[in-house]
């Protein structure tokens, strides 16, 4: 069974000047992967006729499936629909179901239906219309020489909706592919070259159908085993054998054997242990709390956070002593320790995390180096504080503080701190 190959083309000048971050092609890649379809390339081009046609020609050479997003809006800079119509030699005709949907949408919003909006109901007569319940621009499915070309709006939730309801079921029916299966080992506290060294004999012994990849980031390295071929059952068995070997060898640094984010690893522990968590965040401004609450069901164990950006709030709500801040500074072991201890009581939780630091100029940056961050984790009897230093800009320092913060909570609850 040969593998089906896909390519993803994203269209929009905003991508080529870096005005927006493309999250669409990553999401589509995940879905292709789940179907066992290889993504060969992801290409971004501008709202420019020749660029789009060249990309289509080039990708259709190697791929059986080309998924295109963007350029379907009602304004003059959106050229994908007439271009595809011409490319596939069609004629633009009004789609009655799309027209009815648009009219209903506009009347529900009490907006007049403009000539311009009429154009949004037009579709090439050579495509299968993919109805877009979530928005105004329908998707389009073209067949050409046994290959499939799908065009979708660039608005992420509209694209996702049409993919799930219209595109994925059709692809599943049309293309049968051997599944691609992944197994992961997530580690913390050791660099990728040391990890590679420790498991080099296991890596060397991997069969050809299994590949190992290392993804380093923020104090952690994610190891991903990817396999395909030779029957699903035996493949899963092999993957899990090697996953187990690697996890055993790296036991002292393994934090999970599943590729899930740290907030979810924490969530499982708090859920399983019936424990509660609260926070006192200064320099991360609520970003760690945001991560924790990304997990469905987090309200079971996460009670809340005092985002104490000002010293008044550290004092007034948490009850950090004024003298502590005056004597040692807001960014200090003493202050962060008091913050963590106070959070246990104020939020009435079993575990607390506290953080205070200097992310860019201002505040105590005359006294301390920018990037200095103090963190503490506490339970009802103990508190551990630790100093970090991050060398990046404001946004990246915040990201790092959040990753290292979650890792510190993980180590604390696993008695590794």
Q: Of 116 and 174, which has the nearer Cβ to a copy of itself? A: 116
Q: Of 130 and 199, which has the nearer Cβ to a copy of itself? A: 199
- Tell me the Ramachandran region of residue 245: left when phi exceeds 0, alpha when psi lies from -120 to 50, beta otherwise: alpha
Tokens of 242: 């090697």
Beta bridge partners of residue 373, listed in sequence order: 357, 388
The 55-84 site mask, x for binding a copy of itself (CB under 8 A), equals x--x--------------xxxxx-------
Verify binding: residue 42, a copy of itself, rule CB under 8 A. Answer: yes
Shortest distance in whole angstroms from residue 17 CB to a copy of itself? 5
Q: Are 47 and 13 in contact (CB under 8 A)?
A: yes
The 388-407 site mask, x for binding a copy of itself (CB under 8 A), equals ---xx-xxx-x---------
Tokens of 81: 């629909």
Of 36, 32, 40, 35, the C-alpha closest to 63 is 40
Shortest distance in whole angstroms from residue 282 CB to a copy of itself? 9
Opening angle at CA 351, ends 349 and 352, nearest 5: 95
Report the site for a copy of itself in 281-340 (rule: CB under 8 A). 281, 284-290, 292-294, 296-299, 302-310, 312-313, 316-317
* Inter-CA distances, 243 with 131, 236, 378, Å: 42, 10, 33
Query: Which residue spans within 48-152 are E strands per DSSP?
Result: 65-69, 92-94, 122-124, 128-130, 139-144, 147-152
Verify binding: residue 16, a copy of itself, rule CB under 8 A. Answer: yes
Shortest distance in whole angstroms from residue 89 CB to a copy of itself? 26
Query: Helix axis angle, 80-87 relative to 49-62, nearest 10°?
Result: 50
Shortest distance in whole angstroms from residue 382 CB to a copy of itself? 23
Verify binding: residue 360, a copy of itself, rule CB under 8 A. Answer: yes
Helix (H) / strand (E) element for 220: namely strand 220-227
Binding residue for a copy of itself, selected from 11, 15, 63, 331, defined by CB under 8 A = 15
> Which of these ranges, 141-149, 190-198, 241-249, 336-344, lies near a copy of itself under the rule CB under 8 A?
190-198
Shortest distance in whole angstroms from residue 303 CB to a copy of itself? 4
Verify binding: residue 384, a copy of itself, rule CB under 8 A. Answer: no
> Which of these ranges, 213-221, 240-248, 264-272, 405-413, lies near a copy of itself under the rule CB under 8 A?
213-221
Q: Distance between CA 266 and CA 413 in Å, rounded?
A: 9
Binding residue for a copy of itself, selected from 168, 212, 236, 255, defined by CB under 8 A = 212
Shortest distance in whole angstroms from residue 126 CB to a copy of itself? 26
Q: Distance between CA 341 and CA 324 in Å, rounded?
A: 14
């Amino acid at each position: 069974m040969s593998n089906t190959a896909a390519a993803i083309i994203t269209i929009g000048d905003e991508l080529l000047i870096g005005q927006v971050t493309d999250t669409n092609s990553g999401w589509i890649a995940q879905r292709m992967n789940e179907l066992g379809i290889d993504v060969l390339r992801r290409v971004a081009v501008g709202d420019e006729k020749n660029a789009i046609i060249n990309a289509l020609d080039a990708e259709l050479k190697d791929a059986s499936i080309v998924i295109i997003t963007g350029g379907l809006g009602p304004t003059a800079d959106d050229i994908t629909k007439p271009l595809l119509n011409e490319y596939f030699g069609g004629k633009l005709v009004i789609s009655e179901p799309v027209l009815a949907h648009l009219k209903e949408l506009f009347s529900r919003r009490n907006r007049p239906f403009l000539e311009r909006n009429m154009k949004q109901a037009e579709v090439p007569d050579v495509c299968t219309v993919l109805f877009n319940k979530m928005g105004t621009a329908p998707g389009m499915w073209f067949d050409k020489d046994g290959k499939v070309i799908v065009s979708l709006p660039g608005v992420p939730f509209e694209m996702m909706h049409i993919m799930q309801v219209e595109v994925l079921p059709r692809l599943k029916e049309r293309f049968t592919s051997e599944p691609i299966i992944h197994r992961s080992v997530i580690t913390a506290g050791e660099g990728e070259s040391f990890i590679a060294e420790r498991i080099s004999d296991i890596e060397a012994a991997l069969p050809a159908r299994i590949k190992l990849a290392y993804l380093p980031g923020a104090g952690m390295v994610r190891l991903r085993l990817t396999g395909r071929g030779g029957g699903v059952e035996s493949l899963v068995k092999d993957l899990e054998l090697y996953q187990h070997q690697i996890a055993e060898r790296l036991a002292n640094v393994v934090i999970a054997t599943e590729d899930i984010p740290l907030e979810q690893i924490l969530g499982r522990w708090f859920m399983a242990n019936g424990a509660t968590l609260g926070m006192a965040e200064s320099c991360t401004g609520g970003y760690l709390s945001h991560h924790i609450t990304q997990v469905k069901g987090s309200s079971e164990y996460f009670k809340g956070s005092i985002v104490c950006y000002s010293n008044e709030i550290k004092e007034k709500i948490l009850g950090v002593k004024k003298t502590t801040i005056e004597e040692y500074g807001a960014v200090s072991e003493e202050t962060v320790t008091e913050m963590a201890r106070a959070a246990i009581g104020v939020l009435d939780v079993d575990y607390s995390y506290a953080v205070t630091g200097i992310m860019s100029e201002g505040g105590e940056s005359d006294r301390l180096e920018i990037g200095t961050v103090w963190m503490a984790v506490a339970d009802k009897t103990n508190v551990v504080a630790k100093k970090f230093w991050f060398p990046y800009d404001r946004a990246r320092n915040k990201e790092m503080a959040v990753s290292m913060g979650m890792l510190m909570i993980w180590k604390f609850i696993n008695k590794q701190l």
